[in-house]
Amino acid sequence: MANSDFTHLHLHTQYSFLDGAIRIKDLVSKVSELGMKQVAVTDHGNMFGAVDFYQQATKAGIKPIMGMEAYVTGKAKHTDKIRENFHLVLLAENDVGYHNLKKLSSVAFVDGKYYYPRVDKALLKKHSEGLIVSTACLGGEVGKKCAKGDLDGAREAAREFKEIFGPDNFFLEVQPNGIDIQNKVNSDLAQLAKDEGLRLIATNDCHYVTRDQHEAQNILMAIRQQKAFDDPTLHKHETDAFYIRSGDEMWELLKDEYASAFATACEVGARCNVKLDLGNTYLPPFPFPAEHKDEADYLVHISEEGLKSRFKEITYPVDREAYFGRLHAELEIIIKMGFPGYFLIVQDFINWSKQESIRVGPGRGSGAGSLVAYALRITDIDPIPYNLLFERFLNPERVSMPDFDVDFMQERRGEVINYVADKYGRDRVGQIATYSGLNPKSAIKDVARTLGVPFAEINELTKPMPLLVDGKKPDLKLALEFAPKLKTLGETDEKYKRIINIAGVLEGLFRQAGMHAGGVVIGEKPLVDYVPIFSGANGELVTQFDKDKVESAGLVKFDFLGLKTLDVIEHAQKIVNERIARENKGDAQEKDLASQGHPHVLGHDIDGKALRQDGEDIIPLNIDLLRPDHPEIYRLISSGDTMGVFQVESTGFQDLCRKLKPDCFEDIVAAVALYRPGPMQSGMVDDFIDRKHGRKKVEYPHLMLEEVLAPTYGTFVYQEQIMQSAQILAGYTLGGADILRRAMGKKKFEEMQRQRGLFVMGAEEKGVDSGQAGEIFDTIEKFAGYGFNKSHSAAYAMITYQTAYLKRFYPVEFMAALLTTESGSTDNVVKYIHEARTNGIKVLPPDVNISDRSFTVDYNVDEATRMRRKHKRTNYAYIRFGLSAVKGLGAAALQAILETRAEEKHFSSIYNFCEKVPSQKINKKVLEVLVKSGAMDGFGYPRSQLMGSVQRALDAAHSLQKDARVGQTNMFGMFTADDGAQIEETYDNAPPWAEKERLAYEREALGFYLSGHPLDRYVDDAKKLGAISTTQLTEQNHNASVVVAGIVASMRERRLKSGDGRWAIVTLEDTFGQAEVLTFRKVFEENEMVLKSGEPLLIWGAALLDDIDDEGKQRTPKMRATEVMSLADAQIERTRWVDIELDMPQRENADDTVQEWHRGQPVHRVTNDKACIALMEQIQTVMKRFSGKKPVRLRLEMAEGFRVDVRMGQEIAVHPSEDLVLALERLPGVTRVLRR
């Protein structure tokens, strides 16, 4: 036995989250360096890293020993909610042991997790076969009891484990780490082994690779515990012994007292032999009808029938023979490669979804290149017109699993997963793990925080560090190049040198496991037969392996992705079709008139037949059947008016659309492919635009490539173009061309040289000069790095077209659907309400008589809206808020209101509302939020008067309902027509709330301002003062000087660590959304009163870019304040005069009338002179209270229908303060006060 035969059997890797500091690659490298033949991994309670470890170790010639340090309860069951657990090292001696490890780890997570994933001794006994076990560290039951002096308890526990596993498979673990208590425990264990006929085994409980990483691993534990490094309560290792020691070191430490334990470790290492079954694929069989002989036969049948069905929907000429030829060619490849079952499974859950009105995307990724997928309705884009290639999806010359990524509408995605789980078995369907790691930026920030560096200091230093560089995650060295100040400090300052060195050790280690956004696996047998599992936040079964390792283990991954845009499309289409259903109830003439608003029924089919005959019903809209060729849609996209349109609503994409001016679907496909950092930085985009608009000549590398490159004006944009070019010019098969494409992407020199030779030789055979062929190869190679998957781009461009179509032709329905989908995000609701208003769409408050749960479209517009000239496209409807938006309403109250309204049809007043809705479902708070939100405006009283009547209405209704319960009635009720009791309705004669008060209550009830915004009166002034919107902050350069106007929505005050002073994080809101404003000590203390005034503010400062997402974009609008000022004060400084807008009082029952028309009915109105004089006197009284130097103009809307402007004399000049505005707006008849 050589010292190098020693085997480390207790070792923690990066999969012991925020505890193990050993990366798998570093483990394998170190073990190889030490000449060891095998090593075990025993992560805490899990097997997340099992396949990763197995693959890397076997590749390096190291035997992997599969293990886990389990958490075991003592006397308790693993399901008991008792915080009891001990460590126990479990090693797989053979394949049976490995399967038992998987089952134990899975049960621990699924059934036994209470703080930690736990098993009990009954489970250990049930799954003991093939396991070798040791008592672990001082956290083990035997070791912990020895440490406490409970030797009898330790003996009892040892006997239990000996009985469960047998004396040849259970060992007492000694560790030579030099800790005093460990030395005592080692001695006790030696005596216990002698007494009980057990053997000792030696381990080093490795947590890091080398001794000098001891401090870094302790800091890693501090990060996990969220404690400072100098916190006396921090649990950390007091010795630097837990590293991967060599066999020689271990022998020197053990030879005197525990030589036998060293030998046992060598022996057990040799005994453990597990061979994982990797690389096979296990799909469940798909049930097919008896008349078909197998899955392949059934796939051919439904593919052929599906294609025939597609022909009935296609609105353009097709060569049916060519289509069937390609279909059968694809089917031959699918069957030959053994994937019929995969296609059948995918088409089944997709078509079930569509039958259940769960919207599915038209395609995603390379799968959109398959005609079989189109025939089966897996995808909804015909690949042939767009030259999409099947071989890009499934290459017969490179065997790999097909991979359909499928988008479902977000809110119902879970239903599809449930369907699959019910069909194949809930224990056979699960989701996939992901691991979030410490990237360079977060590693430095976490280490610095642990070492006591103030957040503001380290945050400022790390801000420039990117999360991605050229689309890839940078290492620490590269990331520091973007933060020169931090890099310099790391070279000159000892504190920062320490931080960066430790961060380098921890970089890339895992923080925690999560669940993949869309990955789902389906097994032929229960998942635990293939992989260990754990539970998701909502009880989902989740594989402990990530997407790559789970496929290695034999499970097939299906991507069930949620895409909110599909929710928008589905909601919008539903609203449109409800409108169509109502319109179809009209007579023939009304239907003909209504049909003009539905372009999908206008025009003719491919045979020249009108899509709709006069008098016929309007057919419902099916957005999936639209041909993407309507010129109005391209005009809309070219205008940049694309807020809410899929993929193209960002400012950058809007700019691209304005420059590109797409006029066909291929242009949209190309734009989606080009709007990425690589093509934009390389100049490809500008070149493409110049070629499209004739500013640059369209040239082709070779005339043979004209057909391939014509749709992109002679430029290589797509990966498919690379494949087709190799096929046409050099005679490649499409499968071989796909291999070429992949080789170009990986840029491996030897492979590229081989491919160049093949390309040039093939081109020469086609008559192309070898020199020219080489140049073309170089051109293709250059663009290959930027090439995008056209199948994906085309499928997503179809969603772009569909959302643009809805925005153009059904703008109100589209915006209502958008608001419904985004209702969980206040920022997005604010943004889209602003967009709606910009386009002339009125967004009405909720209404107890009209509103549904969510946003709806109200087609009962007034004549003024219908006849307006501006925004004609949106003059046919309003958007009505849903009742679910009212904060504090509650699900029970909402349900009661809707159910009562369904029975009663209409609430006539707040009193009637309280009378009809069950009193146990509503209370004073519910009524108050309904009034504040505007949901009771329809009762015809100002909100102030309704609020004053809340308690009276509740009391009266309660009394009436009480009388009804005891069979009583009141005197007046005896004489009513329906013999029902009547409530006497009284209202306070309170003046309407001023705009500021009304808006404040709206925000309280809804979470945002609806009928207006406190900033509305300042919009022009803010712009003239240079203010940008909160959303535009993310588009600025870091530290760029900015000015923003807004209202303080919330404020979090912080004390300085020194205790001397305060600063605050202010949430500033404008009409577009919210931004985070950092107000540090000096600015905060100088402006605290202004910040807390509740008034609109103007804030100067610097834009901050310190919260970058994976696409390199700032997530949260953020700035640092340098100066704060009341916007009213700023406005007062620049006000030239004050406009007071009035609706003049009208006389009742006037004899001298002027006839007007309103909704087709004559009305008679005339100004009430006496009331007008009274109003003027009130206005004059208010103005005298705020006398000043700014002139006043009265703008009188007379009852007769005309307007009079009156310029007041200088003797009535005012000081244009906010108090003046509020005082005037409280007066009945004053509609608005504007400071010009």
pLDDT tens digits along 450-486: 999 988 889 888 888 888 887 788 999 999 998 899 9
Average pLDDT over residues 275-296: 92
User: Which residues make Cβ contacts (< 8 Å) with residue 67, sequence separation at least 6?
Assistant: 9, 40, 41, 42, 89, 90, 91, 92, 101
User: Which residues make Cβ contacts (< 8 Å) with residue 414, sequence separation at least 6?
Assistant: none
The CA distance from 687 to 701, in Å, is: 15
Instruction: Specify the pLDDT at position 1149.
Output: 59
Q: How does residue 743 score in pLDDT terms, banded at 50, 70 and 90? A: confident
Instruction: For 1118-1146, write each residue's pLDDT tens digit.
Output: 999 999 998 888 878 778 889 999 888 87
Residue 627 has pLDDT above 80, yes or no: yes
Residue 599 has pLDDT above 60, yes or no: yes
Average pLDDT of the chain is 90
- How far lies 765's CA from each of 739, 753, 762, 775, 1125, in Å? 20, 19, 5, 16, 76
Residue 355 has a CB neighbour count (10 Å cut-off) of 8
Asked if 438 and 506 touch (Cβ cutoff 8 Å), the reply is: yes
SS3 1134: helix
Residue 1088 has a CB neighbour count (10 Å cut-off) of 16
The CA distance from 983 to 957, in Å, is: 7
The CA distance from 203 to 88, in Å, is: 13
* Residue closest to 1152 by CA, chosen among 1139, 1163, 1141, 1166: 1166
* String of DSSP letters for 646-679: TT--SHHHHHHHHHH---SHHHHHHHHHH-SHHH
Strand order in the sheet with 510-522: 405-408, 556-562, 510-522, 429-437, 541-543, 533-535
Average pLDDT over residues 743-747: 80
The CA distance from 851 to 857, in Å, is: 9
Instruction: Specify the pLDDT at position 681.
Output: 81
Query: For residue 54, which amino acid is it?
Result: Y
- Tally of helices (H runs) and strands (E runs) in the chain: 47, 30
The CA distance from 989 to 1102, in Å, is: 49
User: Which residues make Cβ contacts (< 8 Å) with residue 799, sequence separation at least 6?
Assistant: 361, 362, 563, 565, 566, 569, 646, 647
User: Which residues make Cβ contacts (< 8 Å) with residue 371, sequence separation at least 6?
Assistant: 307, 323, 326, 327, 330, 382, 383, 384, 390
| Burial of 585 per CB tally in 10 Å (0-12, 13-18, 19+) | exposed
Instruction: Specify the pLDDT at position 969.
Output: 47
Tell me which range, 649-653, 715-719, 809-813, 838-842, is most confidently predicted by mean pLDDT: 809-813
Query: For residue 867, which amino acid is it?
Result: M
Instruction: For 193-240, write each residue's pLDDT tens digit.
Output: 999 999 999 999 999 999 999 999 999 999 999 999 988 999 989 899
Average pLDDT over residues 788-792: 92
Residue 1161 has pLDDT above 60, yes or no: no
Average pLDDT over residues 4-12: 95
Paired with 1158 in beta bridges are 1161
Instruction: Specify the pLDDT at position 982.
Output: 64
SS3 566: helix
Instruction: Specify the pLDDT at position 964.
Output: 64
pTM: 0.84
Asked if 756 and 743 touch (Cβ cutoff 8 Å), the reply is: no
The CA distance from 86 to 139, in Å, is: 6
Paired with 1119 in beta bridges are 1077, 1103
Residue 57 has pLDDT above 70, yes or no: yes
Residue 1151 has pLDDT above 60, yes or no: no
Which secondary structure element, helix H or strand E, spans residue 1140, and what is its range? strand 1138-1143
Instruction: For 1013-1059, write each residue's pLDDT tens digit.
Output: 888 878 877 888 889 988 888 888 888 999 999 999 889 988 887 77
Instruction: Specify the pLDDT at position 1163.
Output: 46
Instruction: Specify the pLDDT at position 1110.
Output: 43
Residue 1164 has pLDDT above 90, yes or no: no
The CA distance from 1142 to 380, in Å, is: 57
Residue 17 has a CB neighbour count (10 Å cut-off) of 21
Residue 349 has pLDDT above 50, yes or no: yes
Residue with tokens 């009105």: 357
The fraction of the chain above a pLDDT of 90, given in percent, is 63
Question: How far from chain centre, in Å, is Cα 1192?
Answer: 51
Q: Sign of dihedral through CA atoms 330, 331, 335, 340?
A: positive
The CA distance from 81 to 323, in Å, is: 62
Asked if 196 and 162 touch (Cβ cutoff 8 Å), the reply is: yes
Asked if 563 and 409 touch (Cβ cutoff 8 Å), the reply is: yes
The CA distance from 1069 to 279, in Å, is: 54
| Burial of 1185 per CB tally in 10 Å (0-12, 13-18, 19+) | exposed
- The residue ranges of DSSP E strands in 329-481, in sequence order, are 405-408, 429-437
Average pLDDT over residues 651-659: 90
The CA distance from 578 to 1127, in Å, is: 46
| Residue 367: both structure tokens together | 């799968």
Q: How does residue 1154 score in pLDDT terms, banded at 50, 70 and 90? A: very low
- How far lies 686's CA from each of 679, 777, 1104, 1112, in Å? 9, 23, 29, 21
Question: How far from chain centre, in Å, is Cα 230?
Answer: 37
Which range (375-384, 546-555, 1194-1203) has the least confidence?
Answer: 1194-1203
Residue 1159 has pLDDT above 80, yes or no: no
Classify residue 690 as left (phi > 0), alpha (psi -120 to 50) or beta.
Answer: alpha
Residue 1210 has pLDDT above 70, yes or no: yes
* Residue closest to 806 by CA, chosen among 593, 563, 568, 562: 568
* Residue closest to 606 by CA, chosen among 834, 861, 365, 313: 313
Average pLDDT over residues 804-829: 92
Query: For residue 1060, which amino acid is it?
Result: D
Q: Sign of dihedral through CA atoms 1116, 1117, 1122, 1123?
A: negative
- How far lies 194's CA from each of 135, 151, 199, 204, in Å? 16, 14, 8, 22
* Residue closest to 705 by CA, chosen among 726, 733, 681, 683: 726
The CA distance from 651 to 683, in Å, is: 19
SS3 286: coil
Residue with tokens 């594989």: 543
184-206 burial: b if 16+ Cβ within 10 Å, else e:
ebbebbbebbeeeebbbbbbbbb
Residue 812 has pLDDT above 50, yes or no: yes
Average pLDDT over residues 856-866: 88
* Residue closest to 507 by CA, chosen among 469, 472, 473: 473
Which secondary structure element, helix H or strand E, spans residue 510, and what is its range? strand 510-522
Round the CA-based radius of gyration of the chain to a whole number and report it: 37
* Residue closest to 354 by CA, chosen among 331, 333, 379: 379
Q: Sign of dihedral through CA atoms 612, 614, 619, 624?
A: positive
Instruction: Specify the pLDDT at position 528.
Output: 95
* Residue closest to 281 by CA, chosen among 523, 31, 606: 523
Asked if 1118 and 1101 touch (Cβ cutoff 8 Å), the reply is: no
- How far lies 913's CA from each of 158, 933, 1164, in Å? 72, 16, 33
Instruction: Specify the pLDDT at position 297.
Output: 96
